[in-house]
Structure 1
Amino acid sequence: MSNTYLTEDHELLREQVRRFIAREVEPHAAQWERDGMVPRSVLRHMGEAGFFGLMYEPEYGGAGADALTNLAFADALSDSTFGGFIITVLVHTDMASPHLHHGGNAAQKARWMPGICRGETITAVAVTEPGAGSDVAGLRSTARRDGDHYVIDGSKLFITNGVHADLYFVAARTGEGKRDISIFAVEKGTPGFSVGRSLDKTGWRSSDTAELHFDACRVPASHLLGMEHKGFYAVMKNFQTERIALAAMAVGHCRQAIRLALEHVTTRQAFGAPLWDKQAIRQRLAMCDAKTRAAEAYTWHCAWRVTQGHDIVQDVSLLKSLTGELVNEVTATCQQFHGGMGFMTGTPVERLWRDARVLGIGGGATEVMLDEAAKRY
């Protein structure tokens, strides 16, 4: 489909990302699914290629680009059929490291941002807890000031990149108020910080997901990002970047599922003719494509509104709920048209269907997103 938001530079970036995926991801990612992680060497290569600092300051190795450029990257990245690889990258670029970009001071950025851009320092964001997911204000981890340190206690759950990250942006309660939450940069190896179980998931098999534990974890006060007690608002702000990236991922999964289904139904013979000759199949695929194109246009529109400085909370909440449900509908439909083969582990359409399920849950469950949007009417 034509896209009025894309420039020549965006197209060049997308082509570079797609070549990288074809060369260094798709031939090897099935093994990463079995290993439960994306090799660090691949992430370093992405950093060396300039993919990890698109929004960040050139002085730290970034490109100083805008939200549309960042979406062009996420859009091309989502041409991969391996959701675990995609989310490993997007957590680093769009969900974790932006906390440093938005809330970090000059000294903090100078310390960590160059390694982040080069793919040498991989990041994770630690907000979700056993009793607090979409309800960020309900988290129970605490951080208390003790001289020139903060002491963090608590646990985190479902943390993507949790096992192999180098730097974690951790949300903890620092006051009595419901929203008195702060964000801390915690380096792997900090005393009192440990990685618990590596979690086994239905999908996203090549992304590592973990529990994190903080037991009197002493973090220098200089690792506080932004102002004390203002971390709730930092999390809410970053959710908009995160949710646009997840929408791009969902749309990419839809596109790939439709492509695979078209390849299958135009060649698979049934009752003496290709499945494509069945009107019901043609029409259902056409409707999947129509909905996907509409969702794709809405995704780009939301990113454009970011560049214009608009309040996008309602739009992005609607976008996240729409795409999270749509990707499940489209991948299930396309899997259905593959028949029994679509239920075989390791086939691309089965993987897309499996990976799609979490997109209606992670980053803001559909019901929460719809309620956020409804509150703003």
Structure 2
Amino acid sequence: MSALSVAVELPRVSGPTLLVDLSAIAENTRTFTARTDAALMAVVKADGFGHGAVDVARTALAHGATQLGVTSIEEALALREAGLRAPALSWLNQVDADFESAVSADVDLAVPSHQHLEAILRGVAGRTRARVHLQLDVGMARDGAPPDEWAQLCRAARQAEQRGLLDVVGVMGHLGCADDPTDPSNAAGRRRFAWGLETARATGLRPRTRHLAATSATLTDPRTHHTMCRVGAGLVGIDPSRTVRLRPALTLTAPVVSVRRVRAGTPVGYGHTWTAPTATNLGLLPLGYADGLPRAASGRAEVMVRGRRASIVGLFSMDQIVVDLGEDAVPPGEPVTIFGPGDAGEPTVAEWAGWASTIEHEIVTGIGARVRRDVRTEHTSGLRSMR
């Protein structure tokens, strides 16, 4: 038999696949709406934390969320182009961003500085009335106006409002240590936000929407809820506070490309960081750090093969990893689970984050474009594929 005929007879290899389970996002959304009397903003930045912004947004809106949040104007406009008309807020933009397009698309804008306020007013040039959320730094020294600039920003926004150029519909802040409810900086952040609201009201502003809590604070501290909570990571099953069991929405699989039998003492991968202690079978999987598997997890990470855990051995490569299969006779094309919800004992995103000394957010947002996406609708019979 020729080499060509052998290759043709091998099982078909479909490639790495990321399954997105929208029923998990629906369940998580209901969990959050049950935890607060405030409105729920579904934060779908970074392509819905790697789960697909439009799918996450539609699912969350169907299960209790009433507003959408993103960082850039481009992300907000993509939601509008997909037909999503729910109120949407964009809160991280350069002063030369396309504010005119945002306002024309009925996108709310965060205002973290006087320079941003002036840029928005120049962008709309009186043609329409912008809707803005003034953003206060409550203790992260990151985004938001510093406290010593807050009163000036409120006064300038109130003057623009009186001139009919904009509506200050919200005031927002963000806590830096909400994943630890006992951290004293949370109380300091709540106090600063309360002061910011009082200062805004003293200038004549009457923001209807007041939002400080993100995922962790929504779960752990009702004092931060005000009129709206912003939840992003929690929708996709990540709870940084580790206080509630949410349902992970991703499962990453890859087929075995090839299997080889090696002797004891065989080195594997770059740098020969692992050597087979005994004779074993090694399986090659077609994904690596270019696809979002963190190289820092080398030497620690595991996968699930035929219902049992197996170690990834050697350093991760850009496009491939090697799994120690032991005595299992696994044929090419056999599916391997890299991570999933953990219901069947497979590794979870949380475990991968631990192996890489990072956070779950980085794992889920890092899966590369080469990995095919399969989206499972809330009706489990529905499945569609995307590249």
Q: Establish whether TM, by shorter chain, passes 0.5.
A: no
Max Rg structure = 2
More helix by proportion, 1 or 2? 1
